[in-house]
């Protein structure tokens, strides 16, 4: 019997060795082809080439055929890798954006793909509270003209970001143009190790309609130490502010470190519970993650909010809590990112973040939504066919294409908020701030000043139809009748704003609140209008 078992084991070992050797041989052949191509180009190509760029381009293209998450980081991109894994980077702490100047906006509208980098301006749109940019006086809406004397004109967003980032403790000098200030001015900012707070907002809701106070935590990323930040926040809400129920908001959370997710789940679930398993090609890729501690909040009523941008570690938290019947999920089906990446060093100081396995929840379901092997076969990929986490209560995304969408994507809300902030020293607290009808009328006058023309897809289609009719064999009487319909189908932006006044107040108010109370204040304001949050308050009362 022992001899029989030994024979089986030997056969398996030989088979495994043969498969490994076969895979290695195929890889060696591919590498030989690549090396030969590179040598032929090196010897025969007419011009001198940048081999570092060629190699990086080839590797990037190769990995993109596999999946979007297997990525090569050259030594010069070490800073990007550090931010990805730790949530930290050396910089000024502000989101930047490129867009056409207001005077050129309407010319660029509808053909953004054809707008050159040289015609775009770089703006600080969201300085983080307490970070170097905000402390140095940078405001949302400031245009960045130069960085350390070098123009931002013609640079991409990533190039501008790279120039703003650097070693903590070093100084960067920005030349700023600000609305209402006659001349550009310079601002010196000392870079710091920027760490974005994983708990973006937390509060306790106390209302007559609630039998007990409800805690709310918006959690934005699973980076190093994020589980501790979550725990400290929850302890404060529970022990100091009296929360006896909890809503965790994972909407827009793209995930991160699985161990951080495990610690958060363990706050609510008994020890030694399987939370997630990873399964891959090698035995090292197969792992079972279980809770290790006694839960601090085993019986705390819990609702988790998710959406289509909740991914990876967010799906581990929400999916395991759902499988273990520990939380009710509300929102939309999650993204479906169930691939596990490990970072491995490679020669010359680079790294590769490579997919090694897939995530499986306690029920056995795989989080991953897309089989990327289908891409190699040329099959169309469909996001909604499988994978992700389907909430217990689905609330369809209410986003629609209307005047609010047009005003948002063309930055009119942003630009008016910049002007409003310049003209108003202070506003009411986010929990009560509201725009008056007179201020909405002032916004309409602002749109008039900027020459805003509201075009719907219907009006653009109709205008194109008339042009087509003029070039085809359509009689003039018919064309005249079509033109008579044009005023009816050309929208009046004031009437459209009146029809959507509450949504305009919400979106414009949110942008204005951000100027005074930064990210936490904006979150407090937005909760007032959040249908999924209010549905959660209703459900958690039952």
Is residue 76 a part of any domain in this protein? no
Whether residue 407 is found in the same domain as residue 530 = yes
Please check whether residues 242 and 289 belong to one and the same domain.
Answer: yes
Quick check: 263 and 234 in contact, CB under 8 A? no
The CATH code of the domain that includes 173 is 2.30.42.10
Domain boundary among 142, 173, 195: 195
pLDDT at 337: 93
Domain that holds residue 352: 199-394
What integer pLDDT is reported at residue 466 of this predicted model? 73
- Decide if 24 is inside a domain: no
pLDDT class of 109 with cuts at 50, 70, 90: very low
Given a contact cutoff of 8 angstroms between Cβ atoms, the answer to whether 143 and 160 are in contact is no
| Helix, coil or strand: residue 428 | coil
Domain membership of residue 468 (yes or no) is no
* pTM of this structure: 0.83
C-alpha count within 13 angstroms, C-beta hemisphere, residue 489: 16
Residues 206 and 354 occupy one common structural domain: yes
Q: Give the pLDDT of residue 481.
A: 76
The predicted model gives 264-281 an average pLDDT of: 96
The per-residue pLDDT for range 314-332, each reduced to its tens digit, is 999 999 999 999 999 999 9
Q: Which range has the top average pLDDT, 3-12, 295-304, 362-371?
A: 295-304
Residue 32 lies in a domain: no
Domain end call among 165, 195, 225: 195
Q: Which CATH number do you get for residue 259?
A: 3.90.226.10
Shared-domain flag, residues 244 and 370: yes
Whether 514 maps to a domain, the answer reads: yes
Structure tokens at 203: 């509060």
Number of domains in the chain: 3
Q: Is the dihedral of CA 88, 92, 97, 98 positive or negative?
A: negative
* Same domain as 235, residue 320: yes
Residue 477, domain member (yes or no): no
Q: In this structure, are 427 and 535 located in the same domain?
A: yes
Instruction: Reduce the DSSP state of residue 510 to 3 states and report it.
Output: helix
Is 221:196 a contact under the CB 8 Å cutoff?
yes
pLDDT one-digit tens code per residue, 69-105: 898 888 777 666 666 666 567 899 999 999 987 655 4
**Which of the listed residues 139, 171, 195 is the one where a domain comes to its end?**
195
Residues 350, 418 share a domain: no
How far CA 298 is from CA of 258, 269, 295, in Å, comes to: 21, 6, 5
- Reported as a single tens digit per residue, the pLDDT across 245-269 is 999 999 999 998 999 999 999 999 9
The pLDDT of residue 438: 97
**Pair 529, 409 in one domain:** yes
DSSP string, 369-384: ---THHHHTTPPP-TT
100 and 211 fall within a common domain = no
């Amino acid at each position: 019997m022992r001899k029989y078992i030994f024979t089986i084991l030997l056969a398996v070992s030989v088979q495994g060795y043969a498969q490994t050797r076969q895979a290695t041989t195929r890889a060696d052949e591919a590498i030989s082809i690549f090396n030969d191509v590179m040598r032929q180009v090196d010897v025969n190509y007419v011009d001198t080439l940048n081999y570092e760029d060629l190699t990086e381009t080839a590797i990037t293209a190769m990995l993109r055929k596999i999946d979007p998450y297997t990525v090569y980081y050259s030594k010069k991109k070490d800073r990007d890798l550090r931010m990805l894994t730790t949530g930290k980077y050396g910089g000024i702490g502000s989101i930047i954006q490129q867009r056409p100047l207001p005077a050129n906006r309407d010319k660029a509208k509808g053909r953004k793909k054809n707008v050159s980098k040289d015609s775009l301006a770089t703006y600080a749109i969201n300085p983080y509270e307490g970070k170097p940019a905000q402390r140095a006086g940078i405001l949302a809406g400031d245009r960045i003209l130069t960085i350390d004397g070098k123009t931002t004109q013609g640079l991409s967003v990533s190039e501008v970001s790279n120039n703003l980032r650097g070693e903590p403790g070093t100084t960067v000098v920005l030349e700023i143009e600000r609305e209402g200030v006659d001349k550009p001015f310079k601002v010196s900012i000392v870079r710091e190790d920027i760490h974005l707070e994983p708990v973006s907002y937390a509060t306790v809701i106390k209302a007559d309609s609630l039998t007990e106070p409800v805690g709310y935590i918006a959690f934005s990323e699973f980076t190093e130490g994020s589980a501790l930040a979550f725990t400290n926040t929850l302890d404060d809400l529970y022990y100091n502010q009296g929360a006896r129920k909890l809503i965790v908001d994972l909407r827009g959370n793209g995930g991160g470190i699985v161990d951080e997710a495990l610690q958060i789940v363990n706050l609510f679930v008994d020890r030694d519970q399987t939370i997630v398993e990873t399964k891959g090609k090698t035995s090292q890729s197969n792992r079972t993650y279980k809770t290790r501690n006694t839960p601090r909040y085993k019986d705390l009523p819990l609702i988790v909010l998710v959406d289509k941008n909740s991914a990876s570690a967010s799906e581990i938290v929400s999916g395991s809590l759902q499988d273990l019947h520990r939380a009710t999920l509300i929102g939309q089906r999650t993204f479906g990112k169930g691939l596990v990446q490990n970072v491995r060093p490679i020669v010359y100081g680079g790294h590769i973040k490579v997919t090694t396995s897939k995530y499986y929840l306690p029920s056995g379901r795989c989080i991953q939504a897309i089989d990327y092997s289908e891409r190699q076969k040329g099959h169309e990929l469909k996001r909604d066919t499988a994978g992700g986490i389907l909430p217990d209560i689905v609330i369809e995304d209410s986003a629609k294409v209307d005047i609010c969408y047009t005003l948002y994507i063309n930055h009119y809300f942003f630009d008016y908020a910049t002007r409003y902030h310049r003209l108003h020293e202070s506003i009411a607290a986010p929990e009560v701030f509201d725009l008056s009808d007179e201020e909405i009328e002032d916004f309409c006058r602002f749109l008039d000043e900027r020459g805003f023309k509201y075009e719907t897809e219907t009006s653009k289609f109709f205008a194109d139809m008339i042009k087509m009719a003029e070039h085809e064999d359509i009689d003039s009487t018919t064309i005249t009748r079509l033109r008579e319909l044009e005023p009816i189908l050309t929208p009046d932006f004031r009437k459209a704003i009146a029809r959507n006044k509450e949504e305009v107040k919400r979106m414009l108010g949110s942008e204005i609140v951000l100027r005074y109370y930064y990210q936490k204040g904006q979150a407090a304001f937005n909760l007032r209008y959040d249908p999924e949050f209010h549905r959660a308050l209703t459900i958690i009362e039952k």
